[in-house]
Amino acid sequence: MKAEPPEVELTSPDGAVVPGDPVTVAGVTEPGAEVAVGDATTTAGDDGRFEFELDGVADQLTVVVTDVAGNTTEVTDGVVFVASRVEIDQVRTVHATFWAWATPRLREPIVQMIEDGRINSLQLDLKDDGGHIGYGSSVPLADEIGADLGPLDLEQTVADLHDRDVAVIGRIVAFADPTLAAWARENGERDWVIQVRGEDDYHRGSYAGFSNYTHPDVIDYLLDLAEEAAQAGVDHILWDYIRRLEGTDNYTVPGLETTPEEAIVEFARLADERLVPYGVQHGASVYGIAADRPEQIGQDIPALAEHVDYVAPMIYPSYWGVGEYDVADPNRQPYDIIRATLEVWNEATDGKRARVVPRLEDTAYRAWDQPHQVREQIRGARDHGIDEWLMWNPGSTFTPAAYEQRE
């Protein structure tokens, strides 16, 4: 008589489970085996497949499989729980720093945009350009380097936004990290940081420290933060500064054995792998030039697009020089430059997993009519078949009248 316990593969749930919500439990085991989840039971078919439709589970899901010989296997691994989840088909969001979201005079206008149906999600900084984390993180390294100084209770913030049926897009600045860089230098971990070639110093430039995108400890730190956010119920992870330094080659990347583009793609692959159990989407904010100039910033878009759900190119009209993509004055022709750049981006991602969700700008930089600028960017994207956008303003102040009200 067979003595080995039956093998079991769960095929559903394939993402996080919200306690109390209906859930499908399905998988494959030995034909004829009895499968139980709590009081519910079924028998695996001739092909070994089984499926349950449960009204809801608490905060634990255990599948017990007993084969025809009486051998038993219990499966609990691979099922994760989050307090809540909001799913959206299209992203229409504005950016909030964690300090802005903790400040009523900056938060309330965005809340009004939510209530008016102008946006359906919030892009909220979790880790910012200074390497600071916006909440009390449980990731040990965050506490050790003094990064977790922000004002938010992340789980409560997510719960409050979910109560409004608003998805939370957690922005994590990846490799621009002066907080980690300063700690690494002071603690003898020089390989964690990009270094100036031939000098006993780490690379500062305009970022005051750029972490090493190949170092396993740096990568683990970022992935730990992303997983912590997913556990708190954050619906999307949006990576920013997922690239190499630009503008100079006078630096060394310790441990780099491939091209920068390949190293960045590998990071995206690892992030995708870590986040799979949570069923969250994750995207990458990328330079507008990267679609046709990948070496300038270390972002190979066709390769990167295989490991993320969307790419978010920064195609702000104010970023482009005169004549770029045959547009005479991009800053005064927002519609034209958005159409021209998205044509290139759609070609770069054609047939890939990732869709394009453009990062647009609601800023006063060189703009003569800010509401017009915003509307024209949105129109340009929509006329190119993209009704999604992530709107950027570094101070988290926006012009609500420029945004269409939707139900």
Look at residue 90 in the predicted model and tell me its pLDDT.
96
Give the integer Cα–Cα distance in Å for 176 and 129: 6
What lies within 8 Å, CB to CB, of 265 at 6+ separation is 300, 303, 304, 306, 307
Chain position carrying tokens 């299209």: 90
Give the integer Cα–Cα distance in Å for 16 and 83: 9
Domain with CATH 2.60.40.10 in the chain: 9-75
Select from 3.10.450.30, 3.20.20.80, 1.10.510.10, 1.10.3720.10 the CATH code of 92-402.
3.20.20.80
Q: What would the CATH number be for the domain defined by 9-75?
A: 2.60.40.10
Classify each residue of 91-100 as buried b or exposed e, where b means 16 or more C-beta atoms within 10 Å of its C-beta. bbbbbbbbbb
Look at residue 344 in the predicted model and tell me its pLDDT.
96
Name the band, by pLDDT with cuts 50, 70 and 90, for residue 57: confident
Q: Over the stretch 353-371, which tens digit does the pLDDT of each residue have?
A: 999 999 999 998 777 789 9
Q: Over the stretch 98-142, which tens digit does the pLDDT of each residue have?
A: 999 999 999 999 999 999 999 999 999 999 999 999 999 999 999
Domain with CATH 3.20.20.80 in the chain: 92-402
In the DSSP assignment, the letter for residue 314 is E
CB 272 within 8 A of CB 307: yes
DSSP string, 233-288: T--EEEEES-S---S---EE-TT--S-HHHHHHHHHHHHHHHHGGGT-EEEEEEEG
Name the band, by pLDDT with cuts 50, 70 and 90, for residue 248: low
Q: Is 90 exceeded by the pLDDT of residue 166?
A: yes
Q: Is 90 exceeded by the pLDDT of residue 405?
A: yes
CB 336 within 8 A of CB 327: yes
Look at residue 1 in the predicted model and tell me its pLDDT.
56
Q: Is 80 exceeded by the pLDDT of residue 247?
A: no
CB 239 within 8 A of CB 284: yes
Q: Is 90 exceeded by the pLDDT of residue 78?
A: no
